[in-house]
Chains A and B, each alone.
Chain A
Amino acid sequence: MRDVYIIGVGTTKFGELWDKSLRDLATEAGLKAITDAGIYSEDVNALYGANTSAGQFIDQEHIASLIADAAGLSELGIPSIRIEAGSASGGAALHEAYLAVASGKYDTVVVGGVEKMTDVPPEEANKIVGGSLDAEWETFFGVTEASLAAMIAKRLEYEGKMKREDYAHIPVVSHKHGSMNETSHFRNSIKLEDVLKASYVAQPLTIFDCAPLSDGASAIVISSNRQLINSSENPVKIVSSEISTDYLSLHDRTSIYSLNAFKRSSKKALESAKISKEKVDVLELHDSYSIIGLLQLMELYGEKEAMNLVRNEELYWDKSRPTNTSGGLKAHGNPLGATGIYQAVEATLQLRGKAGQRQVKGAKYVLLHNMGGIGATSVSTVLGVE
């Protein structure tokens, strides 16, 4: 396997972008990424596109070909492949593209993610988001993603493992970071009381516990081409990338609050990176729901340490365990297919020292976690600079 580097990144703003279509968004992110990499379309051997559900959101399948076309690559006829793994599509596309370059098949690949979610009404969008769950045995009976997250939270509180305020803290951190990131969906800070007092989505979770429906696209250029790597400013190494899966339905799992796919993928990713979790300077977690964000900290650091981190407010960019410096899914936004790719964009900015106000000093390693549904797919990626 060859070493693979991120040599360029690009993203659109995330949010309700009514004047932009899916192809506008994908093209904007892709062109920004190749411009940032200082390369031309001719240098690109293949495209990997992450998209969760354009078929339902905008009646458009065959996204790979569409994106290549919109990006002006049709005359070159380059390979273009779409990857779908629910809201883990971005992480999964990055994984596949990484393997394609590391194996030697391609030298330079653009990996993009895009989702156009606001062309349908919110109820329709929520139904489509629920497509990552089990249609026959969950959503058929009225289950939503938020309701599953709520039942996890309720059970954990019942077992005395945490209090309501503990997971309400997660979106407060994400909003603080989101306020410092110009591409965020939401740029307002919120307080703990705001989370607790907002209207319910599924008790005890309120709208502030849940990531929004967003439009957006992000793209990165990855390469093993020495010349391109050397001529790019601050290349970032893809140190490891691992995927794991779990039972699709939450009720089938050994425990409803063990994120086994994340446990396995993060353990393997850190092992292949040959680093301990203490070496991770920045974490980008999949905080689709506040409680799910906290569960990931529990899997990574253990229950006690995770609680200490939230209760002592250690997750901010200038504290001991910077987490979701981008604003996370909650504040930066969650355009499903783009989400996992944006995590890599944020990590690259941090590792280049170009994250502005929210820069984590001397960041050398970032661990990304992109999740499908409520954890049936988990992709853990370690990015780093030597």
Chain B
Amino acid sequence: MSDVPRFWRESNHRYRLVGTKCNNCGSTFFPPRDVCPKCRRESIGKMEELEFSGYGEVYSYTVVHDGLEPFKFQLPYILAMIKTDEGPLVTGQIVDADPSEVKIGSRVRVTLRRIREEGKTGIIQYGYKFILEK
């Protein structure tokens, strides 16, 4: 069981895809970073929040058959790396689709879903998943 702050402090990032932008070099990041790995010290005080559009395309994907405990009732599930329109890759599930419909290059958009829960009485954790643009 985890305590609540572990999850609510990531709400903005996991519910609204808020990443960061380095105003020194213009690079965008998701998940957010406190320091730009290209500019390093030069980026101090120049990292700004950036809300991603939630659109992108499938860069690669797999169908997971042997998964972690919190996901066992979802097996098999589609997991993908999404190339966002802003640039960075984001890893998450593709839902409401049959694996045969998913291709590298397929357009997707973000959706807010339940990710996992800690037992019957624990915290229900939400976050982003992706659905195919049809």
A200 at the interface (CB under 8 A from B): yes
Q: Which residue of the partner chain, among B10, B62, B77, B127, contacts A154 with CB atoms under 8 Å?
A: B62
CB <8 Å contact, B61 and A251 = no
CB <8 Å contact, B60 and A147 = no
In Å, the complex CA distance between A278 and B63 comes to 39
Residues of B contacting A: mostly: strand
CB <8 Å contact, A144 and B67 = yes
CB <8 Å contact, B74 and A151 = no
Q: Which residue of the partner chain, among B62, B81, B115, contacts A202 with CB atoms under 8 Å?
A: B62
Q: Which residue of the partner chain, among A127, A140, A144, A204, contacts B115 with CB atoms under 8 Å?
A: A140
CB <8 Å contact, A142 and B79 = yes
CB <8 Å contact, A158 and B64 = no
Which residues A121-160 have CB closer than 8 A to chain B?
A: 123-124, 126-127, 130, 136-144, 146-147, 150-152, 154-155, 158
CB <8 Å contact, A141 and B60 = no
A273 at the interface (CB under 8 A from B): no
Question: Chain B 79-101 against A: per-residue CB contact (8 Å), 1 yes, 0 no?
Answer: 11100000011111100000100
CB <8 Å contact, A256 and B60 = yes
| Given A123-B72, A141-B92, A154-B104, A251:B81 Cβ within 8 A | yes
**A325 CB to closest chain B CB, in angstroms?**
29
Residues of B within 8 Å of A150, CB to CB, are 62, 64
CB <8 Å contact, A147 and B10 = no
| Given A140-B115, A141-B92, A251-B88, A154:B60 Cβ within 8 A | yes
CB <8 Å contact, B79 and A151 = yes
Q: Select the residue from A124, A130, A146 with max chain B CB neighbours within 10 A.
A: A146
CB <8 Å contact, B61 and A139 = no
CB <8 Å contact, B69 and A154 = no
A100 at the interface (CB under 8 A from B): no
**A243 CB to closest chain B CB, in angstroms?**
18
B55 at the interface (CB under 8 A from A): no
Residues of A within 8 Å of B93, CB to CB, are 141-142
In Å, the complex CA distance between A139 and B91 comes to 10
**A139 CB to closest chain B CB, in angstroms?**
7
A250 at the interface (CB under 8 A from B): yes
- 4 closest residue pairs by CB, A with B: A150-B62, A251-B89, A155-B60, A151-B60
A and B contact pairs by CB, cutoff 8 A, 7 listed: A123-B69, A126-B66, A147-B64, A154-B104, A200-B65, A247-B37, A251-B81
